[in-house]
Every structure is written in structure tokens, then in C-alpha cells.
Amino acid sequence: MVCQDCKKQTATVHLTQIINNEKLVVSLCKDCAAKRGFHSPLDNVPFPLSDLISGLIQQSPQKPGDIPDITCSRCGLTFEQFAHQGRFGCGECYSAFRSRLEPIMRKIHGSSLHKGKMPVAGEGEPIPVREEERLEEMLKKAIESEDFERAADLRDKLKAVREAHLITKDEE
């Protein structure tokens, strides 16, 4: 989407105003947003995110020079550049750098998978991912307690949930 002010750069800031119950969305580039007085909350952070990311990358067992640098095929950003600036160049960078990001995400969050919020009770059906996690945990406990019949049943249920989830995702 192009900036609505300068009509040249890509809009990265989307301002939403509700006036008299009517929604107005203005899409601006970073420069035009700054001219209007809107700045990124990350601009004045006392501890830059890039320092945090660089520190975590330096602590990882794989040093940046140990393996070939990965480059995003869409925007051309290298993992080295990301490590120094702390920002991705585009949405494709997440996929391009996935193998290098997973250990960092596990270190920061304890997991590399975003689980999101649980729905309020009675609000729709259970999320398949949650069901999958619950079954995996039950399967693990059944195996640990050597209850192999229950483990086989849970394995089959888990397989069915995974297959149903794949079909649902493909239909979207």
C-alpha cells in the first residue's frame, strides 16, 4: 500500500480514528507519519532491540561467521544485517531466517511456537492446536507409566486431530 500523503513510499504506519461512529484509516510511510508527530515506540527505547538480538545471537553456539549467511529472497536482507539492526526488511524474512531464529525464540520465550490466546469458555470449538498439545502430553504420560494400550489409543486420536487440522488449514 502506498503512503496517502507523499504517494511515493510504502505505507508502514496505519492510523485509525473513529469519529461519530465512522472509522477512518490513514496509511502513511514512516517519514510522513513522523511529520505528523507519530513516531515508532521503538525509536526512544533506552535499550535497543538490536542490542538484545545481537547479544542473543552472539551467545548462540552457532556464531554468525560459522555458517553461511542467509539472505531473504524478497528484500535481500542478510541475517548478519538483521542481527545488527534488529529489524526485518519484510514479512518473508521470518521464513527465510526461520532456522536461525528458532533457537533465539526458544531462549527468549521458552518456545518457538506462538500459541495465542485461549477463547473465552463457550466461545466456539476448541482450538485444534490446543487439543493436539493436550493429547501429546497425555501420550507422553501414558508411555512414561508404560500404559501402552492407552498410549496407542492416544496416538490414534492425535493422528486424527492432526489430519483434521491439516484438512481445515488446506480449505482456508
Residue 54 shares a structural domain with residue 69: yes
Q: Where does the pLDDT of residue 172 fall: very low under 50, low under 70, confident under 90, or very high at 90 and above? A: very low
**How far is Cα 126 from Cα 39, in angstroms, rounded to an integer?**
39
Q: Are 158 and 128 in contact (CB under 8 A)?
A: no
Q: Looking at the structure, do residues 105 and 57 belong to the same domain, yes or no?
A: yes
Task: Verify that 15 and 60 share a domain, yes or no.
Answer: no
Q: For residue 9, what are the domain limits?
A: 1-44
Strand (E) positions, the chain? Answer: 13-19, 22-28
CB 71 within 8 A of CB 100: no
Query: Could you read off the pLDDT of 125-169 as tens digits, one per residue?
Result: 555 667 888 888 899 999 999 999 999 999 999 888 877 766 444
